[in-house]
Each structure stands twice: as C-alpha cells, then as structure tokens.
Amino acid sequence: MATLLSAEQMKQNSRAPGEVEVSAPTAWPLVLAFGFTLVFAGLLTSASVSVLGAVLALAGCVGWFREVFPHEHEEVVPVVLREVSIATKRRVVERLPVATEQVRAWLPLETYPISAGVKGGLAGSVAMAVLACAYGLLRTGSIWYPINLLGAVVYAPSEVPSAAQFNSFHPIIFFIALILHIVTSILVGLLYGAMLPMFARHPIVLGGLIAPVLWSGLLYSIMNILNPVLGSHIDWVWFMASQFAFGIVAGLVVMRQSRVPTRENLPFVLRVGIEAPGLMPPRENGEKRP
Amino acid sequence: MSAITTPVAQRPVNWRLPYKGNVGMACLIIAESAIFTIFVVAYLFYLGKSLTGPTPREVLEAPLFYTICLLSSSLTIHLASRFLERGKPGAFLALWFLTIVLGGLFLFGTGQEWHRLIYERGLTISTNLFGTTYYSLVGLHATHVTVGLLMLGIVLLLGLAGRVGQEHSARVDVLSLYWHFVDAVWVVVFTVVYVLGR
Amino acid sequence: MSSDAIAVQTAGVSADRTWLQTLHEWVTTVDHKRLGVLYVFYALIFLVIGGIEATIIRIQLMRAHNDFVSPQVFNRMFTLHGTTMIFFVIMPFMFGFANYLVPLMIGARDMAFPRLNAFSFWLTALGGTLLYFSIVGGSGLYGAGSAPDVGWWAYAPLTSRAFSPGHSADYWTIAVLVSGFGSIGTAVNLVATVLSMRCPGMKLSRMPLFAWLTLVMSGLVLISISPLSAAQIMLLVDRYLGGHFFDTQAGGSATLWMHFFWIFGHPEVYILVIPAFAFASEIIPVFSRKPIFGYPVMVGATVSIGFVSISVWAHHMFTIGMTSYSNSFFVLTTMIIAVPTGIKIFNWLGTMWGGKLQFKTPMLFCIGFLFQFLIAGLTGIMLGAAPFNWQLSGSYFVVAHFHYMIVGAILFCIFGAIYYWYPKITGRMLNESLGKLHFWLFVIGFHLTFDVMHVPGILGMPRRIYTYEPGRGWDTLNMIITIGAFIQGIAILLFLANLVFSYFGGSKAGNDPWDGWTLEWSVSSPPPVYNFASIPAVASRRPLWDLKHPEDPDTHYD
C-alpha cells in the first residue's frame, strides 16, 4: 500500500499556500484517557469509579470516532509568510580551485590487496633468514647459531643447550625455529597488508623504514621477557639490519603486485557483492567514479 | 545570499511512502504479538506443573468447528475488502456480515466451553495453575475477538447506512489486517493449548 | 464547520486571551509541538519530585543509625524514586523531544496520528498522577500505607496478597500499566510518522540520525513494554482473581516474574539511552562544525544494539542460579553489546576529531556524556561477567553503575538537548553563564556522588538498606555521597531558574542560533502551527548546509 503525491499536490506544495489545514484540537482523546485511567483506578478505590470511568471512556470513543469519521475534523490556519534567510553566520570562505572538480577528501582510488602484504612478508622472511645466517657464518662460523637462538624460545632457561651446542644442528630446534619464523613472517605480512591502504603511495617507506623501526623497538623492549636466551646473545645492529632487509624486500615485492580498486567509494550494494545492471546511476555532472 | 523561504531542492518525481494506517496497525500487531508471546510462554512453562487437578487432558476438547469458523472468517473479510475496493458495496456488506456471524459463532463456542469447564468440570481461574494460564491466554484472545467484532459491527452499521464507499477501502483494509492477526493468534493458541498442551 | 473562528483564534495574538482560554487550548491540543512541550514540562515536574525522593534517601543514609524517616517510608521512597525516574521522567523526556522534533526534522506538518498522540500523552500523565495518588489516597506513606514499597521491579512473591496486603503493590502495577499503554501508543505513532510522513527526497538514508534512533527506540518500546504490560496483567490476575502465576504456594514460579520483568527491563535501558545517543548525534556535529562521522555505521550500530539488547536480560539474574550454559550465553551477549556501543563512541570522537570545537553548554554536556558513558559502560562490562556479578550483585556498586548510566549519560544528554533546542521551542536563548555554572556544579556533584558510591559497594554495602552499623568504613563515604547529591540538587535548581528567567528575559534566539543543518532550524522559533508553509524537499543529509554553502553542497557526495 503506497500513496503517491499527485502532480497537483506537488504543484500545490512547491508554492507557499495562503492557508494550511491542520488537525483541529479536540478534548475526546483526553476524555478517553481519563475514563480509561478511572476504570483501572476503580480497582484501587471503589467500583463506582470504574463505572464512571467506563461511561467517560465510552463517551470518549464516540466523540473521537465522530472526530475522524466520515471526514477528519480539520481547521484552517492562515499562513504567516515571513522572509527567512538561511545563511551561515560564520565567515564564508573562498575556495581555491585546486582541481577542476572540488573534492572534500582524497581517498586512494587503488591500493594493494592484503595478499600483497602476505607475499611480501614471505619474501622478506627469506631475505631475513639469508642475512641472519650470514651473520652466524661471519660471527661464529656456523649458520645454525641464529636458528638455535630463535628456537631456544620454547625451552625453560634451565634446559637451554649450552653455548657450545649452539653451533651444531639440532633437528627439533630447527623445526621449531622454522615454524616460528614462517608464522611470524606471515603475521607481520598480514599486518603490513592491513597497513598498506594508509600508506598506499610509499610501500618501501612503510616496509623498509617504519615497520622495522616499530617492530625492532617493540622487540627491544620485550625481548628479555619473550626469549631470554636470544636477549642475552643478540647483536642489535645485525638484528636491525635483518629487519630492514625484511622490510625492503617486502616493500619491493609489494610494489610488483598489481593494485586493486578501493571499495570505500562504491555503493553498498556493490560492496556486498550484488551484481546487477543499473545499480550505479550515471551522474549528471559527469563526476568520475572509481 | 538571497532570502529563501523554504529549502529548495529538486523534488523527486515518484515519492511513495507506505500508508500510515498500515504501518500503525503493523506496529500494534508487533506489540500485541509480544503480549501474546509472554502469555504463551507462561502457559508452556506451567504445563504439567499444577499441584492439583483437573489437567488439560482430562477436561479439554479441541473446538474444531469453531476454529474452522474463525479461520474461514479471515477469508470472508479478505474477499469483502476486495469487493469494496472494486466498488461493489452489496457483496462487501454480505461478506462483512458473514465475517461477523463467523466471529460471533467462535465467541459463542468459547463461551460454551468455559461454561462447561466452570460448571461441569469445576475448573476456574483460581483452581490451579492450568486454570490460571488457560483462562488468561484464551480470555486474552477472546477479548481481542470481542474488540474486533465491535469494530466490524460499527463498520457494518455504517455500511448499512450507506456511509462506507470505495474511498474508505484503505481504512477497511487496516481493520481486516487486525482481524487476520486475531486469526493467526488463534492458530498459535490452538496449537499450544489443544495440541501440545494435551 | 466553525473552523474559521478557531483559525482566527489560533493565529491571533496571544495577549488578548484569558488564561482559561490558554489552558483550554493546551488541554485540547493535538499539535505535536504542544504535546512535546507538555511531555517535557510534565517530566520536569516529576524530575523535581523524584529528586526530592532521592534527597530523602540520601539524608537518611548520611550517617549510621539515622532516623530521618522510618524504614517503611524509606522503602516507599526508593520504590517511588525508581519508578518515577524511569517511567515518568526519562521516558516522557524522550517522547517529548521525539514528538517535538521528529516531524520538524523530517519535514512533516504533524505526527501520523495527532489524536492518538494526545491520547498517549494523557495516559502517561494520568498514570503518573495515579502513582502519586497512592500517597494522598488511603493511609499514604504511613503505617501499612498505600504507597508502593516493593521496589521498582516488584519481585514476586513480595507482591502477593500475603506479603503486600492493601493496594500498595496495585498502585505500582496499575500506574505503570496505564502509562505503558500510553508509551505503546506513542511508539506506534512515532514509527508511522518516520516511515510514512517524510518530505519528498527524505530517504531513509538521508534522515537525521535523531529520526533514525527514534525509530529504533520506538521499535524497542513496541517489543519490550508490552511484555511488562503482559506480566502486569498476570500480576493483576493473581491479586484480584486469585490466579497462581507467581504464587509459589500453588506451584507458580517467582523466577518467571524476574524473567518477564527483565525481558522488559534491559531493553528499557536502551529505550532510555538510544534517544540520548540521538541527542549527542545531533549536537556533537553542529558544535564540531563537521558532519557526523560514519553515518551508515552509526545507524547499523544502533540497530544492532536494538537487536542484541533483547537477548541480554538475564544478566540481571546471575545470582538466581541458572545453568552454566545460560550464564555463559548471557555473559557473551552482554559482552557483544559493547562492540556496537564502542563503535558509536569512536564515531562521536571521530566527529570531534579535527573539528572546530565550540564549547557551548550543549556541547559541554555532550562531552561530559562521552566520558561518563564510557565509564558506565566499563562498569557494565564488569558486572556483565558472571563471577564478578556474583560478588557485587545487589550492592551499591550496581547502584553506582546504573546511576552513572542514567544520570551521567542519559540525564547529561537531556540537559544538552534542552540547552540546544530551548531556543527553537521558546524563541529565547538560555543564559549561557548560568548554563556553564549548572554544568560544572552538576559535574562536580555527580562525580562526588557516583564515583564514591562504587566504593561502599565493593566494601559490601547492600542496596535498599535503610540504615547501617557504624564503623564498617561506610560512614565517611556515605557523607560524601550525600554532599554530592546536594550539590546536584543546587545545580538542578539553578537550571530550573534558568529555564524560567530565560523564558521571560532571555535574548532573542532567531531561527538558527547554532548554525545548524537539519530542517527544524529553517522555520521560525517557535515554529508556526503548520511547521512548514510549503513542504520542503531535501537532497542530502544536511539540507541547510546545502543552502548555506551552495558552492560546496553535500548533494555532490550523497
């Protein structure tokens, strides 16, 4: 059931009419409400109050009914036309023509998908591992040294292998370190992918500079709690270097991914995946849409 | 800026909004459904928890005939309002009257059942939990039927006086919406009281 | 039809009318604006009454073994205070503002059903009057008394004939039942108005958030006040016809009443707070000079709050011993409701962020609301965890929590709304310095009372006790709480004085004192009877912004 404003009504509405019909004041709703309340109040006081209430309520019903049937009772109010100026009271500012079309916010039209972050994270993990193993080779002559340091995180301090054993290969520790490294890299990659839309223009700055500094700072403050063994053996210069390597490689990999359009500017129906023709009406003033 | 009396914006050509009577009745139905839900929950919660007899199995008989009366009145009122919409007041009045007769039969059936329960079976509202919940739930529904019949009766009288025309069909539709609701509630009450409850 | 005579009378100058004629006009009015004002006026009267009751409670608890009132009177005071503040202060406030503002905001000339509107108002008003008739009718406050003393949730079996002889419990039941019918009528009317009375172009996605939130609130009223009415009808059946719904002697269940009451009771909290959100969502953008942040998310969050709020009721009942599954369910739903609520807080902050903030009185109250609502929400999360609740349920910690919500969040928003829309309703500005004084006094009083009130709760002070033993560490705290209550009382008196004096002597407001963006600011203050000489058409969420800034209208981005 729907009512359609007729063309006549529309025309009538567009100009201010001389008088307007509004519902006429009436006391019957009050009488009905009073009667209704008295019916209940009779339960608290005496039955005669209820009887009075019922009579009033009946009168109210009849009166109200006559008010709306057969025609709603309306009164005519003359319109007092007043000049109303709708203007802001604050300064009106001149707008600089910065673009052919003014837009209030610059939203990136395209950005990297989250999967780009994950791929970058995995690529960065390889770079990081290579650099870390190079550090082990140069410092102690064994590529297993950094791997054992990382894997030692799961052992209680008393069960940590002695320093001499750090240079040899332990399959279980290797396995643990591998899992840890991959999982952490993927998680950092995911975080990276989620942050990408905020820094959509500069993946290298994000990956190569901001993320490693944040990450290293966080680790520097909690390393002694997280992994005391690594914390006591760590070389922070090399650590930072490997973090930067991670970030730069991740950034490079991200840059090679293809961008996808952002969805902020799309209508809701499109974002929820409904595809049908005519969902996006063409704009009259030729405004561009992503 | 120039003085403008009212905000000017381009008026949409087709501006359709739902009819306020239907929206209002739908809201009322939502509120009434919540009330009935609470009474139905209470009925189901107290099933079989009465400390004394009689139990529903002993005393209740499904009022099939009167149920059919009430449910078919939904059909007659629907047809009546369709006839009014198409401008056939005679057919409208006849079917409207039939609706009232069917509704009246249903009320008579409820009254008969209550009489039997009270005077033959000795079940009153204060006998046990079953009595309390049964009379409240069925009584609440019967109250709604009574109110509905009163309103239908007023429309019938006005119709006989020739005051109900095609232009009132939207208002009559609102009333028939209420009547459909009363019927739908009976389906729930019947299922709960006479099918599940026994 | 003698409409011409009436028309002249309505349009005529007010000076040549006797007070009787004016009274007649107000009593018979079906105009949504006048009914809105009546609602607010009525709520203000009951605010004073409820405030006096709160003061009596606080004076009684000021020190140990005080005998300012008898235990019986104390019981009646907290029952009346709770019932009054919920049903006859905050709900009429909210309905009043919704009545006044919704048609103006959506470009309509009146509500969908003007006469139903008047009927609903009078039911609410007469319900409140009936509640207070209990004090003067019969023996009132003294002896066995007829004033209700069963607490505002009237738990069974306390309400049974055996424990509440006379009519004291019936007064509570019937007064609230009658006003409940009024609330349902208003809710029906508001939903129909919002859905069927919008001006051309006012799509649902362009409605002011106020109208959206009113729609959600009215929907909640429909599905939650009616269960209360149903339960109260059952209670009446028990008390008058000898039924056994809540009669534990005959197999009835007292727990069922608790369930029924809280199925109403918890959505009720959201019925009260969603309009407060609506006020904040209108006031904060205007005084931040920025459009609301995340409009669709705000709507979605409100709707989801509405839905989730009907499945959390039993977190009021953790101490009755439900199964662990029920406990976990209600803990989880309670935690979930924090998510949309948090989204709303972030969106208000997002609106203020980077905006050009103006610290006028309405904005001050809304900022106070943001802080206090957050804390109230956090203590709510604490109480929503079943084990914590087992420890503190029924203590003053709970009292502090819900007063933080109702006073700190809801009442603050109501004050903000009054300061914001008073110019529109009366044509006069409220005094700004008095308003700021009111705000600061009220903030100080509020925090003194309700921050401190958490502590005796944690120390084990139960709610609803009329006195306590000295030396339990509660004495000083209770004294501080009472002092805070008095400061709040002074602030409210200042506010009332401001309302009265500004009505006669306030500076002229003009149509649009705050440089607002919604349609109500496009008509004169106070608006004419017919609201809009010609029905407006809108093309964006901020129609007045479009007119004020034709070089950069919202319509480009809508």
Write out C45-101 in H/E/C secondary structure. HHHHHHHHHHHHHHHHCCCCCCCCCCHHHHHHHHHHHHHHHHHHHHHHHHHHHHHHH
How far does A4 lie from chain B, in Å, by closest CA? 5
Mean pLDDT of C431-450: 96
Q: How far, in Å, CA of A144 to CA of A167, rounded?
A: 6
Give the range of the structural domain holding residue C498, as residue numbers without chain letter.
39-556
How close, in Å, is residue C483 to chain A by CA atoms? 39
Q: Which of A3, A13, A70 faces B17 most closely, judged by CB atoms?
A: A3
Q: Point out the residue among C197, C233, C539 whose CB comes nearest to the CB of B20.
A: C197
- Which residue would you say has higher pLDDT here, C77 or A261? C77
Lowest average pLDDT, out of A57-61, C278-282, C550-554, goes to C550-554
Chain C positions touching A16 (Cβ under 8 A) are 533-534
SS (H, E, C) C71-84: HHHHHHHHHHHHHH
pLDDT for the residue A89 = 81
C147, C168 in Cβ contact below 8 A?
Answer: yes
Task: Find, among B191, B195, B188, the residue nearest to B32 by Cα.
Answer: B188
pLDDT confidence tier of residue A4, bands split at 50, 70 and 90 = very low
What CATH class does B20-47+64-196 carry? mainly alpha
Output B9-12 pairs: Cβ under 8 A, ≥24 positions apart.
B9/C201, B9/C536, B9/C537, B9/C538, B9/C539, B9/C543, B9/C546, B9/C555, B10/C201, B10/C537, B10/C539, B11/A10, B11/A13, B11/A14, B11/C200, B11/C201, B11/C537, B12/C200, B12/C201, B12/C537
Q: Give residue C116's region: left, alpha or beta (phi > 0; psi -120 to 50).
A: alpha
Locate the chain B residue with the closest alpha carbon to C310: B34
Model confidence at A44: pLDDT above 80: yes
Spatial distance between the Cα atoms of C78 and C218, rounded to a whole number of angstroms: 28
Distance between CA atoms of residues C263 and B42, nearest Å? 13
**B18:C196 CB<8 A:** yes
Residues 93-112 of B with CB under 8 A from A: none
Of B5, B36, B49, the CB nearest to C251: B49
d(C-alpha C273, C-alpha B3), whole Å: 39
The distance of Cα C277 from the centroid of its chain, to the nearest Å, equals: 11
CB contact under 8 A, C126 and A19: no
Which one has a higher pLDDT value, C289 or A105? C289
Separation of alpha carbons C425 and C32, rounded Å:
12
Question: Residue C371 is inside which H or E element, if any?
Answer: helix C361-384
The string of DSSP letters for C445-503 reads HHHHHHHHHHHHHHTTPBTT-S---TTSS-HHHHHHHHHHHHHHHHHHHHHHHHHHHHH
- Are A86 and B4 in contact (CB < 8 Å)? yes
Q: Identify which of A43, A86, A90 has the shortest CB distance to residue C522.
A: A86
Cite the beta strand spans of C136-180 per DSSP E.
none
Q: Is the CB of residue C398 less than 8 Å from the CB of residue C404?
A: no
Please report which confidence band the pLDDT of residue A286 belongs to, taking 50, 70 and 90 as the band edges. very low
pLDDT by residue (tens digit) across C107-150?
999 999 999 999 999 999 999 999 999 988 766 666 667 889 89
Which residue type does A217 have?
Answer: G
pLDDT for position A266: 66
Polymer length of chain A:
290
Contact of B150 with chain A, judged by CB distance below 8 Å, is answered with no
Instruction: Using pLDDT thresholds of 50, 70 and 90, give the confidence band for residue B34.
Output: very high
**A154: closest CA among A224, A228, A243?**
A228
- Rounded Cα distance, C233 and C527, in Å: 41
**Residue whose structure tokens are 């306030």:** C506
Chain B contact set for A87 (CB, 8 A): 1
Phi, psi of B163 (to 5 degrees): -100, 0
Chain C neighbors of B23, CB-CB under 8 A: 112, 191-192, 195-196
Testing the interface with A: which of C2, C30, C134 to mutate, by most A Cβ within 10 A?
Answer: C30
- % of chain B surpassing 70 pLDDT: 95
Q: Is the pLDDT of residue C352 over 90?
A: yes
pLDDT score, position A140: 80
Bridge partners (DSSP) of residue B104 are none
Neighbours of chain A (3+ CB pairs under 8 A): B, C
Question: Reduced to 3 states, what is the DSSP secondary structure of residue C543?
Answer: helix
What is the domain-level CATH number for residue C458?
Answer: 1.20.210.10
The C-alpha atoms of residue A241 and residue A243 are separated, in whole angstroms, by 5
| Total residues found in chain B within this entry | 198
Phi, psi of A288 (to 5 degrees): -80, 145
Segments making up each domain of chain B, as ranges? 20-47+64-196
Cβ of C243 within 8 Å of Cβ of B30? The answer is no
- Among candidates C544, C539, A84, which has minimal Cα distance to B4? A84
pLDDT of residue A59: 96
Question: Does residue C172 fall inside a structural domain?
Answer: yes
Contacts of C315 (CB under 8 A, 6+ apart): C266, C330, C331, C333, C334, C383, C384, C386, C389
Alpha-carbon span C475 to C453, nearest angstrom = 12
Q: How confident is the model at residue A200 (pLDDT cuts 50, 70, 90)?
A: low
- CATH of region A24-78, choose from 1.10.3470, 3.30.40, 1.10.10, 1.10.287: 1.10.287
| Chain-chain contact of B17 with C197 (C-beta, under 8 angstroms) | yes
For B150-179, b where at least 16 C-beta lie within 10 A, e where not — what string?
Answer: eebeebbeebeeeebeeebbeebbbbbbbb
Closest CA to A23 of C113, C11, C23: C113
Structure tokens at A110: 């395209």
Predicted confidence (pLDDT) per residue in A147-193, tens digit: 888 887 777 666 666 666 777 888 888 888 899 899 988 888 887 77
Chain A residue nearest residue B167, CA to CA: A70
* ipTM for the whole complex: 0.93
Q: What average pLDDT does chain A have? A: 77
Both tokens of A234, joined, read 């760590």
Cα(A243)–Cα(A216) distance, integer angstroms: 7
Query: Which of A264-268, C284-288, C464-468 shows the lowest mean pLDDT across its residues?
Result: A264-268
Considering only the beta carbons, identify the residue of A41, A73, A77 that sits closest to C10: A77
Q: How confident is the model at residue A135 (pLDDT cuts 50, 70, 90)?
A: confident
Flag whether residue C204 sits within 8 Å of chain B, measured between CB atoms. no
DSSP per residue over C408-420, as a string?
IIIIHHHHHHHHH
Q: How confident is the model at residue C175 (pLDDT cuts 50, 70, 90)?
A: very high
Which chain C residues touch A73 with a CB distance below 8 Å? Answer: 1
Which of A5, A69, A87 is closest, CB to CB, to B15?
A5
Element housing A19 (H / E) = strand A19-23
Q: What percent of chain A has pLDDT over 70?
A: 73
Give me A176's structure tokens. Answer: 């643990």
Are the CB atoms for A191 and A117 separated by under 8 Å? yes
**Pairs of CB atoms within 8 A across A/C:** 142
Cβ contact (<8 Å) for C230 and B15?
no
Go through C389-415 and write b for each residue having 16 or more CB atoms within 10 A of its CB, e for each that does not.
beebbebbbbbbbbbbbbbbbbbbbbb
Is C116 domain-assigned? yes
Burial A270-290 (b: 16+ CB within 10 A, else e): eeeeeeeeeeeeeeeeeeeee
Strand (E) or helix (H) holding B136: helix B129-160
**Residue A160, Ramachandran bin (φ over 0: left; ψ between -120 and 50: alpha; else beta):** beta
User: Which tens digit of pLDDT belongs to each residue from A226-256?
Assistant: 777 777 777 888 888 888 888 888 888 877 8
In Å, how far are B9, B196, C109 from B17, measured between CA atoms?
19, 42, 15
Q: Are C288 and C356 in contact (CB under 8 A)?
A: yes
Please report, rounded to a whole number, the percentage of residues in chain C having pLDDT higher than 70: 96
C244 at the B interface (CB within 8 A)? yes
pLDDT at A265 over 80: no
| pLDDT over 90 percentage in chain A | 14
Instruction: State residue A79's pLDDT score.
Output: 87
Stretch C21-36: mean pLDDT: 94
pLDDT for the residue numbered B167: 86
pLDDT of residue A108: 65
Q: For position C443, what pLDDT does the model report? A: 97
DSSP A72-109: --EEEEE----------SSPPPP----SSS--S----S
Task: Domain count for chain C, please give it.
Answer: 1
Tokens of C477: 């705290």
For chain A, give every domain's residue range: 24-78, 110-261
Lowest mean pLDDT among A5-9, B132-136, C316-320: A5-9
Alpha-carbon distance of B23 to B20, in angstroms, equals 5
Inter-CA distances, C71 with B173, C50, C85, C409, Å:
56, 18, 21, 31
d(CA C190, CA C285): 24
Whether C1 is in a domain gets the answer no
Residue carrying the six token digits 């690594």: A230
Count of alpha carbons within 13 angstroms of residue C59, beta-carbon side:
14
